[in-house]
Amino acid sequence: MRYAFPEGFLWGAATAAYQIEGAVDQDGRSPANWDVFSRQPGRIYNGESGMRACNHYNLYKEDVSLMEGIGLHAYRFSIAWSRIIPDGKGAVNPKGLDFYSRLVDELLAKGIKPVATCYHWDMPATLEKKYTGWKSREMCDIFAEYCAVLVKALGDRVEMWSTINEPEVILSAGYKSGVHPPGLKVELKEYRQVSHNLMLAHGRALSAMRAAAPRPLKIGIVHNSASVSPTMETEGDIDAARHEFHRLNSWLLEPLVKGRYAEDLWNEAGNDVPEIQDGDMECIGAPTDFLGINTYFSGLSVSAKHGAREFEKWYPRTMVDWPVTPDTLYWTMRFVHELYEPGDLYITENGCAYPDQVKEVNGTPIVEDFARINYLREYLKGLCRATQDGIPVKGYFVWSLLDNFEWAGGYQYRFGITHVNYETFTRTPKESSKFYSRVIQNNGIE
Ligand code: IFM
């Protein structure tokens, strides 16, 4: 059986600045919130940080060659704010911009489409300190200014942009569990205010980017969905799963597409709702060109009588202890499309972590990550089914091109289709990168 994707389907790989670049003191970059946070004892596994990471900042040409070898159509990367505007606002650092300009040129020279994210969790430390991150509404315009600088400089060559990566993780990890900067645990009302600020920052950035762009661009946002799949494909299970999906995702997603908060969730929030100013909702709900979804696993909504996201404990797990649930991409795309109708959709991240190791066979280093191949194959079958249902899924980005710094988890989790030796920075393509290469070549799965 062959699982064929629509013609023109965009196959890519994703990374993020702080997770791969290293070179934290180079070319005028100022300290980022993550540099400061990583230095605090007990924050990061093994006391690690992104200080060296994969040294992509200096090895970007090698990394683009790797991409070319795989046959990637597109590369999704993020931009380090502290390289571009070291003080957070005001003066632009030309050397910082120049790095991304060279990266983009290198990609284009190899026929790879650059896809840029303005904010994937790292901001200048001074900004975070002054405003306590996204707690302050003032951050919205400061962020918009930074995004406008980016499109002014790179918009002639980078057509596809997202403003913010995973608002939900920024909120839950930064302001609820405190395992990411700024390391806070705030009350629910304040939490919702931070959430509102973040969405407003997206809206303000969107309009500033459109105004500054040298040509029409495709601008969206990337949401990490809390996915839910029905256990059986009965009407009852599907309805229960859709309902649960709505409960878990609509607080952030409905304002984006409808310009208002979901009524049932708003009413349930009682007094813990954010303060909204005139014009906020129009700004948040301004039309985008696509919606990116990051998803790795789903909970199973067993049936209407359970009606909650549950995790089946006997499912196989990846190293991060996330269940392997191959239907995830199908149901996520279907529910997002049915509930929000956002137009073009992309899977902007999907993948898995295993403790991959390099071994030598006849003098050749190889990494036999067969569990990842299995994961990708089965998940992609689900995505293919979504395209066959007519859901407008336009592309897929595997997470990640490289093993990298997995935030509070440090370097223990290897998500890459390329192995990275963190001492020598040697890259070794894993067997999964060869599998992925064939998927791209065939535009489908055999
Ligand atoms: O590494 C992260 C990434 O930065 C955001 N999405 C999830 C990935 C895996 O945890």
**Residuewise pLDDT in 10s, the chain (446 residues):** 789 999 999 999 999 999 999 999 999 999 999 999 999 999 999 999 999 999 999 999 999 999 999 999 999 999 999 999 999 999 999 999 999 999 999 999 999 999 999 999 999 999 999 999 999 999 999 999 999 999 999 999 999 999 999 999 999 999 999 999 999 999 999 999 999 999 999 999 999 999 999 999 999 999 999 999 998 899 989 999 999 999 999 999 999 999 999 999 999 999 999 999 999 999 999 999 999 999 999 998 766 557 788 888 888 999 999 999 999 999 999 999 999 999 999 999 999 999 999 999 999 999 999 999 999 999 999 999 999 999 999 999 999 999 999 999 999 999 999 999 999 999 999 999 999 999 999 999 98
Asked if residues 76 and 158 have their Cβ atoms less than 8 Å apart, the reply is: no
Q: What pLDDT does 313 receive?
A: 85
Instruction: Supply 216's token pair.
Output: 């029409």
Task: Round to whole Å and give the CA distance between 235 and 78.
Answer: 40
pTM over 0.95: yes
Task: Round to whole Å and give the CA distance between 182 and 180.
Answer: 6
Bond prior to 181 in cis (omega within 30° of 0):
no
Q: Which residue lies with its CA nearest to atom 9 of ligand 1?
A: 406
Q: Which residue lies with its CA nearest to atom 1 of ligand 1?
A: 406
Q: What pLDDT does 145 receive?
A: 98
Of 21, 48, 159, 166, the catalytic one is 166
Q: What pLDDT does 304 receive?
A: 56
Question: Does the C-beta of 16 come closer than 6 Å to ligand 1?
Answer: yes
**How many Å lie between the centroid of ligand 1 and the Cα of residue 183?**
18
**How many Å lie between the centroid of ligand 1 and the Cα of residue 121?**
10
349 is known as an active-site residue = yes
> Cα dist. 347→67, 76, 293, 392, 399 in Å?
18, 11, 5, 11, 10
Asked if residues 397 and 76 have their Cβ atoms less than 8 Å apart, the reply is: yes
166 is known as an active-site residue = yes
Pocket test for ligand 1, best of 18, 120, 122, 166 (most atoms within 8 A of CB): 166
Question: Does the C-beta of 34 come closer than 6 Å to ligand 1?
Answer: no
Question: Does the C-beta of 168 come closer than 6 Å to ligand 1?
Answer: no
Q: What pLDDT does 126 receive?
A: 98
Q: What pLDDT does 303 receive?
A: 62
Q: Which residue lies with its CA nearest to atom 10 of ligand 1?
A: 406
Q: What pLDDT does 302 receive?
A: 66
Question: Does the C-beta of 402 come closer than 6 Å to ligand 1?
Answer: no
Q: What pLDDT does 312 receive?
A: 82
Q: Which residue lies with its CA nearest to atom 2 of ligand 1?
A: 406
Question: Does the C-beta of 403 come closer than 6 Å to ligand 1?
Answer: no
Question: Does the C-beta of 21 come closer than 6 Å to ligand 1?
Answer: no
**How many Å lie between the centroid of ligand 1 and the Cα of residue 406?**
7
Amino acid at 292: G
Asked if residues 362 and 306 have their Cβ atoms less than 8 Å apart, the reply is: no
Asked if residues 401 and 69 have their Cβ atoms less than 8 Å apart, the reply is: no
Please report the sign of the dihedral spanned by the C-alpha atoms of residue 330, residue 332, residue 333, residue 337: positive
SS3 203: helix
Beta bridge partners of 224: 294
Asked if residues 36 and 98 have their Cβ atoms less than 8 Å apart, the reply is: no
Phi, psi of 394 (to 5 degrees): -105, -10
**How many Å lie between the centroid of ligand 1 and the Cα of residue 385?**
25
Please report the sign of the dihedral spanned by the C-alpha atoms of residue 180, residue 182, residue 184, residue 186: negative
Q: What pLDDT does 252 receive?
A: 98
Q: Find the helix or strand (DSSP H, E) in which 398 lies.
A: strand 393-399
Domains in the chain: boundaries: 3-225+291-296+325-445
**How many Å lie between the centroid of ligand 1 and the Cα of residue 159?**
23
Bond prior to 400 in cis (omega within 30° of 0):
yes
Index of the ligand 1 atom closest to the CA of residue 16: 4
Query: Which residue, chain included where needed, has tokens 């996520």?
Result: 332
Q: What pLDDT does 309 receive?
A: 85
Q: Which residues contact 311 (CB under 8 A, 6 or more apart)?
A: 299, 300, 323
Pocket test for ligand 1, best of 44, 401, 415, 417 (most atoms within 8 A of CB): 415
Which CATH number, 3.40.50.300, 3.40.50.880, 3.20.20.80, 3.40.50.2300, labels domain 3-225+291-296+325-445?
3.20.20.80
